[in-house]
Structure 1
Amino acid sequence: MALFGCQAAIGQTNTPVTGINLGSEINDILNQNPNNPTQAINNYMAAVAATNVRWVRIGIDWAQTQPSQTTINSSDPNPGTSSGLTWGVADTLIRAARNNGLRVLGLITLTPPWAVSSECSSSYQQANGVSSWLCAPDPALYTSFARAAAKHYSSDSYGGEVDAWEIWNEPNCGIDFKPHDPALYTTILKSVYPAIKQANPRAYVYAGGSSGCTTYPNNTSGALPSNGIAGLVNSTNSSFPAPTQWDPRDWLAVMYADGAQGYFDALAHHPYCYGDDWQSASDQCPSATLNSTFPQYSNPFNMMWHTFSSPSYGWPSSSGNTFSSYTGTSLRDQMSAHGDGAKTIALTEFGVPTTGSDGATNFTGQLGGSSTQYTNANFQTLQNAPYYTQANQAREYSALMAWIGQQTKGAYGPVYAYSYSDQALSLPGSTNIYEPYFGIMTLGSTTGSTGTPGAAKIEGTSQAASSQYYPAWPNFGASAAAAAAGTGGYAPIGPGWFNAQGN
């Protein structure tokens, strides 16, 4: 495919294995094929595999799989209907991935109403407008289900093998895992890690994947209570307010304070940084240097590796440095300080939306808002800016791969593109002008019905003249093949390639 057919970025010596995150476009395939979606899903997964990536990230809907509280038979090597579990479409997706030679990263989210944590009580839900499936789960109940999932997906003889598990999605902030309690998350991690290892010793377990947020609220000074960062979690002291969302570095600091070391094989992180395109080229991320215009600019990319003085700051604003972070060390530095320096930071989501006229899907339809706002998904009719084009998308991916190529072997990776195809069909009422357009492929008129995607967006120099800041899209396919073969100069990244036994 042309998508991955251009030359690798110059200077890469440590290319990570690549993957693709399946977004909500799968829902549209299911909706249009309610009786038997298997063929359409196989078509879609075959197209994913044709990019020559080696991994696919697949979500498993806990609330749908176990809608009622049932007793899971702990002695059953393949828990299913007798334990009240209906794996359904997850089996179809995972088997399709395996049939197409892809390894699977499983992601269990969406809490059933009967399994919510006491921290997300009905009164909390009512006061904050939170649905039960967005609540953080009860640790014991989540562990029981995760163990069953790891058993069911421990072999191609059962549901299909899942090679790695990511424990929740963006628990530090965002729409779910309410109320974003890092101590609760660590309790879950410490419980679920040995359960998954018991069910499938070959499987890796990722903590994370954290999203780029600022710690809020805070006292703007960077000061800490006497019991340190962990003392913020349940604070009732107005001088040290308990955050309702967390900077990934602060989140990780609490995890380590509560004993997370030894309970994950890799740290997952989502280093989106497409919002940097308003900056001058030399200050755009990913970059090997800190932004020179805003040295405090702590975007999710440089949270991974750059050590800031404390207090450090979050996103710059017109009014100045508004939010201070309680910790100044990077994710990598914290891992090293706690004996996890050799572990990988897995980039389980990374992407750029395409909202310019050359990037929006070619599917014709009204995509939320009013018909006067949208003209065949040409977002240049909107007043919102900036617009992101295919050239922006290519530059971000290329720069990220080039940066990782210069890092210590195994330090970062695999890199999961978010997402495979645009999601406008499954998000028809979205008021977010970016979310439906992260795909590296456009939608076709029959994507939902047949599983066949549209044209590739990223085609290297055909989208923009290759230059220092807009290099050709790296050849993920050749890189992945070289990594698989152990070719010199390409790194089969830790849990991104080898299993727990090093095979």
Structure 2
Amino acid sequence: MRKLFKAVVALAAVVLVSASLTHMLRPDSGHSRSIPVTETAAVSSLGFADSWLWFLSPDDVNRQLDLMVDTGVRSARIMMPWAGIEPNPGEWNWGQADLIVNAANARGIAVVALLNSTPGWATGGGPAIAAPPAAAEAYGAFAGAMASHFAGRIAAYELWNEQNAVQFWAGPQGPQPDRFADLLKAAYPAIKAADPNATVVAGGLSPTINFFSVTMNPVTYVERMYAAGAKGFFDALAFHPYLFTNNAASRFSTGQANSPRGLYNALRQQMAANGDGGKQIWATEFGEATSKVDEATQAERIRDFIVTWRTLDGAGPAFIYTTRDRATGSPNPQDNYGVYRTDWTPKPAADVMRSLA
């Protein structure tokens, strides 16, 4: 019930925050910086999921990427918000995206670009950032432009984020697997036409339950996604196996009924039933906030997840959310998922990742 309450509160806040987020997503043109460009590396088995890079200064982008390298990590799933890159139709602002991708490539870090955050002009009247695009074709055009601009520099594209929850698919109807399938059908061929070597990943699903029009169980979602014709329009499926519990004994490895591990198994079955048993599931986010548990527990849960994930049939790369706290000590969990503190010092989880990278 705690999760459901949070989901409802988040829905109520969507409209209030969309305007400020739209402003934040607009990159400063002064952030352009000349960095040697090298062709991207392949996605490795362990990476960081880091959505906050978009909001950092050039110096802090480089410093944060250096933290990844120091941790032994050579892959990063990075938000590339549509609203920041194409704030108005046909108006392209590549400054911050180029800065991040070039800096990652220069360090041998393979980039997985998360394409989400609808600009206001493309929502058809819904809240900017959180609402899905009104026309799948517009999203497909954006994805194709990204792949054309970054061909050979971005290794993979993840299409949307937690689309089975209203926080990231805002609207009165809630999650819509059929409309998401339309996004895949529009974006997949556009990306492949521009960069045939890029991997296309269907957006990371939240480990939630069917609850009216607020959230949809990821297994139900994938079943309906396939029914809407999604097969053939993604190379891998993404899942976010967060534990969402303060229970000190909680582990990803326990595999209890309806747990993230149990949902993983059911997702594999759903993919196999639709002829996609040979495709991987990528964990594009997993983490634990140190405002909910202590740093030692965070480290242990991350270790347990990585070690267990690597034993699962069909498991692809895993990305730990996230590199560095936004505000260490804040009561807001979203500020404390980092394996490094805001002052750049490591938590025990950084040593865990380094030992397993």
TM-score range, shorter chain: 0.7 to 0.9
1:289 shift after superposition: 4.1
Q: 1:171 aligns with which of 163, 173, 183?
A: 163
- The residue identity in structure 2 corresponding to 1:150 is A
1:303 shift after superposition: 0.6
1:345 shift after superposition: 0.5
Contact 1:170 1:208 in 2 (8 A): yes
Residue matched to 2:345: 454
Distance in 1 of aligned mates of 2:246 and 2:67: 31
Deviations 1:461-498 (A, max 9, x none): xxxxxxxxxxx767223xxxxxxxxxxxxxxxxxxxxx
Q: 2:108 aligns with which of 101, 117, 127?
A: 101
Residue matched to 2:315: 412
- The residue identity in structure 2 corresponding to 1:112 is P
Distance in 2 of aligned mates of 1:259 and 1:276: 38
Contact 1:267 1:344 in 2 (8 A): yes
1:144 shift after superposition: 0.6
Residue matched to 1:345: 281
The correspondence of residues 129-278 of structure 1 with structure 2, limited to 5 A, is 131-137=127-133, 138-155=135-152, 161-179=153-171, 180-217=175-212, 243-275=213-245, 277-278=247-248
Deviations 1:93-117 (A, max 9, x none): 111100011000001111112211x
Distance in 2 of aligned mates of 1:422 and 1:253: 36
1:421 shift after superposition: 0.4
Are 1:19 and 2:11 an aligned pair?
Answer: no
Distance in 1 of aligned mates of 2:121 and 2:321: 31
Contact 1:58 1:94 in 2 (8 A): no
Deviations 1:101-156 (A, max 9, x none): 1000001111112211xxxx53xx4xxxxx2221101201010111000010103x
Distance in 2 of aligned mates of 1:57 and 1:109: 13
- The residue identity in structure 2 corresponding to 1:407 is L
Percent identity over the alignment?
Answer: 31
Structure with a larger share of its residues in helix = 2
1:212 shift after superposition: 1.7
Residue matched to 2:335: 436
- Tell which has more relative contact order, 1 or 2 (C-alpha 8 A, sep 6+): 1
1:67 shift after superposition: 1.6
The alignment of Structure 1 onto Structure 2 pairs a total of residues equal to 310
Distance in 1 of aligned mates of 2:354 and 2:300: 10
- The residue identity in structure 2 corresponding to 1:456 is K
Structure with higher Rg: it is: 1
Change (3 A) 1:276 1:337: farther
Q: Which runs of 4 or more aligned residues in structure 1 lie more than 4 Å from their structure 2 counterparts after TM superposition?
A: none
Distance in 2 of aligned mates of 1:287 and 1:393: 15
Residue matched to 1:92: 99
Distance in 1 of aligned mates of 2:243 and 2:218: 14
Distance in 1 of aligned mates of 2:54 and 2:205: 23
Distance in 1 of aligned mates of 2:196 and 2:207: 31
Distance in 2 of aligned mates of 1:248 and 1:289: 16
Distance in 2 of aligned mates of 1:113 and 1:203: 28
1:441 shift after superposition: 0.6
SS at match of 1:346: strand
Deviations 1:445-470 (A, max 9, x none): xxxxxxxx22333266xxxxxxxxxx
Deviations 1:189-231 (A, max 9, x none): 01211111111000000012001221122xxxxxxxxxxxxxx
Change (3 A) 1:393 1:61: same
Residue matched to 2:78: 58
Residue matched to 2:10: none
Contact 1:23 1:420 in 2 (8 A): no
Structure 1: gaps (5+ residues): 1-15, 31-36, 71-83, 126-130, 156-160, 218-242, 306-329, 356-386, 445-452, 461-471, 478-503
The correspondence of residues 249-398 of structure 1 with structure 2, limited to 5 A, is 249-275=219-245, 277-278=247-248, 281=249, 284-290=250-256, 295=257, 298-305=258-265, 330-355=266-291, 387-398=292-303
Return the TM-score normalized by structure 2.
0.81
Return the TM-score normalized by structure 1.
0.58
Distance in 2 of aligned mates of 1:66 and 1:402: 39
Residue matched to 1:40: 60
SS at match of 1:44: helix
Change (3 A) 1:456 1:88: same
Contact 1:25 1:422 in 2 (8 A): no
Distance in 2 of aligned mates of 1:254 and 1:191: 18
Distance in 2 of aligned mates of 1:146 and 1:64: 13
Distance in 1 of aligned mates of 2:186 and 2:54: 31
